[in-house]
Amino acid sequence: MKRLFALLAAFATVLGLMGAFGPQAVAANGCKVEYTVASQWQGGFQAGVKVTNLGAPVSGWTLRFTMPDAGQRVAQGWNATWSQSGSAVSAVAVDWNRTLATGAAADLGFSGTLTGANPKPTAFTLNGVACTGSVDEPTPDPDPVAGTPVEVNGQLHVCGVNLCNQYNRPVQLRGMSTHGIQWFDQCYGAASLDALANDWKSDLLRISMYVQEDGYETDPAGFTNRVNALVDMAEARGMYALIDFHTLTPGDPNYNLARAKTFFAAVAARNAGKKNVIYEITNEPNGVSWSAVKSYAEQVIPVVRAADPDGVVVVGTRGWSSLGVSDGSDENEVVNNPVNATNLMYAFHFYAASHKDSYRSTLSRAASRLPLFVTEFGTVSATGGGAMDVASTTAWLNLLDQLKISYANWTYSDAPESSAAFRPGTCGGGDYSSSGVLTESGALLKARISTPDSFPTS
């Protein structure tokens, strides 16, 4: 895991490039590169490189540039295959960004080492064509609209492959997931949710209600009431509430079909008048076919719709919500056999230290064909432990931002595991935001989530 980088963002010169594509390496009309030093520390730095294609579509590309100081070295990069020989650096497109349509952009980045100064790279080329464009500054993001996420966006719905707001504009929600409320209920009181809404500036609280493992099946009425109370607490603070029917063991959601119908009939009827509720009807199907998951969804969704016809529903996918990748499949099984329902999204989960390029490639392909919601992800390994992989986490979050895919991080808890946002014992106190209580994962997520949303309203 790494410390929270201080954001020293210093926008570098934006250079125009001439590109090339295809087997003849014909130059594109032009493109733009924005080089940004995101953070710097003793002996190292992190940089972003955004390439925007301004000309004809480009398929397959290599970006090259020169490090002006011999002490500057690429240590680890993301969203491209990086290499360095002497002062010459190359970044080669990967599967999910090899094609850049006119106006499309690829966000690359790397962490580097340095022994002296940190001057900007020079001599950018794209597919061997020298940089010859004009110099521009990046366009600043618009000022955020005043109001809480729910006040600004209102009732959400699915439009095309996007989650859209009341203005029919695509939005991205960024937030945190609880741990199992049967184990860490003390982490979800007024003080912690105040911090999540006001200090973290979270858009979303995912309420993780396990069904087995001392969860819902032991006290259906009690757990239903607790979920509803957390929905109310999120609503009072202007956050969306994602109700997670956390099926994990056994992995076949049909094992809990009757319980799911009972639970969702109750919570949908009770919360139908609210604008902040999203229903996640199964968490991580595993050891089961997509057709079995689809059958479950097509029986539970009508129960939700009977009470709440407007609420967005999210259904988990095969292979622990990996769109089947963890079972050796891919997104085509869902694309070719979608759930027969509307206002529906599909869950995708990843753990950054375990799930990398092949998973990102799948997500990128699927995002143009399916409405996706990353209802759970971690910065560490799939076990929930181990060191935080900052490079892979950053690559994932940049990709989700680029595609406007909403996400909830696992977990807003003080569980004794490196995926938790808080150090053990935090939930016994009243501080949920200072550096003293945050783990390295929590510090990184708080820094990302607390940046302005800039939700579109027109």
Question: Active-site residue numbers?
Answer: 284, 376
Around 455, how many Cα atoms within 13 Å sit in the side-chain half-sphere?
A: 24
What radius of gyration do the chain's Cα atoms show?
Answer: 22
Closest CA to 61 of 13, 112, 26, 111: 26
Distance in angstroms (rounded) separating the CA atoms of residues 317 and 331 = 9
Q: Which residue has the tokens 């799939």?
A: 382
> Residue 258, Cβ neighbours under 10 Å: how many?
9
Q: SS3 string of the chain?
A: CCCCCCCCCEEEEEEEECCEECCCCEECCCEEEEEEEEEEECCEEEEEEEEEECCCCEECCEEEEECCCCCCEEEEEECCEEEEECCEEEEECCHHHCEECCCCEEEEEEEEECCCCCCCCEEEEECCEECCCCEECCCCCCCCCCCCHHHHHCCCEEECCEEECCCCCECCCEEEECCCCCCCHHHCCHHHHHHHHHCCCCCEEEEEEECCCCCHHHCHHHHHHHHHHHHHHHHHCCCEEEEEEECCCCCCHHHHHHHHHHHHHHHHHHHCCCCCEEEEEECCCCCCCHHHHHHHHHHHHHHHHHHCCCCEEEECCHHHHCCCHHHCCCCHHHHCCCCCCCCEEEEEEEECCCCCHHHHHHHHHHCCCCCEEEEEEECCCCCCCCCCCHHHHHHHHHHHHHHCCCEEEECCCCCCCCCCCECCCHHHCCCCCCCCCECHHHHHHHHHHCCCCCCCCC
* Residues paired with residue 367 on neighbouring β-strands, in sequence order: none
